[in-house]
Amino acid sequence: MASRSIAPPGRREEWRPHGAAIIGSVTDARVTPDRPISELLGRGRPLRSVEFFPPKDDAGVEALRETAAALRRIEPDFVSVTYGAGGSTRHRTAHVSSMLRTEFGFTVMPHLTAVNHTSAEISAVAHEHYRNGIRNIMALRGDVPKDLAPEAAFADGLRYGSDVVALLRSTHPEFCLGVGGYPETHPEASSAAADLSNLRRKVDAGASFVTTQLFFENAAFYGFVERCRRAGIDVPIIPGIMPVLSLRQISRIAAMCGASLPNRLVRRLEAAGDQAEVAEAVGIDWALGQIRDLLDHGVPAYHLYVLNRARAALALAAGLAA
């Protein structure tokens, strides 16, 4: 398949600041709602998105604001905002989502999880996002906090991502809902087949697209997509890419999410030793190769896990524009 160029696009009307005044959690009624990501995916060109996580303190918020200002130059088609284990960042996720939307004009997709939440609480969070003009949500089961017993982590029959999708679809049909997928199988799944069945349930419940967990060998993604299509999962599947910063960092993250590390990448990071800038350059080069190949294979989008750092995303955009 012919390669597609995704040089940073020109400014489009959806990126103009919305200009809605937010007081507390109440948004001015004149706010223009975000466009659904499913509509953006239908434009016939690959999208680029970036994930943020809510900072722990005010200093972190200012650092995130600087990152967002830098990333506005490459105009991501949308950004996502994570939701801490057990809803631990519920209010900060809402605050950051509103900030990214109103101050920077981003189309925002907050994460929303089932763990440690009742149906009423999930509905309340979703309604707040809805009032603030947000129309896209990443619906997840979520991680169980270490200090919470698994049997106490779920309420109202909300045990899986598919339950969150079904609840949101019933309360706010206008939401475009994304869900997570695991190219190398969820670490807690009993089997790859069971994991795929769970994903099918999420799509059947009303999910519009899938964003994958990170991976470092594109063959894992292509095999995953093929298995999804055979299982009747026909929504767009967006690959998630993380530019590596160090061998220690990525070894820890890969172990948590069940991703394998290619020997070639490990050897290159080992050669970088304790030279942080060299290791980061290795990670960016590896991610750039992944993205170029994914675009050559016609992916509808790619999602960047950049850990609130702008430099990697900017370097990737520059490399793809070359």
Which residues are part of the catalytic machinery? 51
User: Which distant-in-sequence residues (6+ apart) come within 8 Å of 191 by Cβ?
Assistant: 185
Rounded CA separation 175/298 (Å): 26
The three-class DSSP label of residue 131 is helix
Q: How far, CA to CA in Å, does 259 sit from each of 155, 206, 240, 253?
A: 30, 27, 12, 8
Torsion of CA 283, 277, 317, 320, to 10 degrees: -60
With beta carbons less than 8 A apart as the criterion, state whether 181 and 212 touch.
Answer: yes
Torsion of CA 152, 155, 159, 164, to 10 degrees: -140
Burial environment of residue 308 by CB neighbours within 10 A (0 to 12, 13 to 18, 19 or more): middle
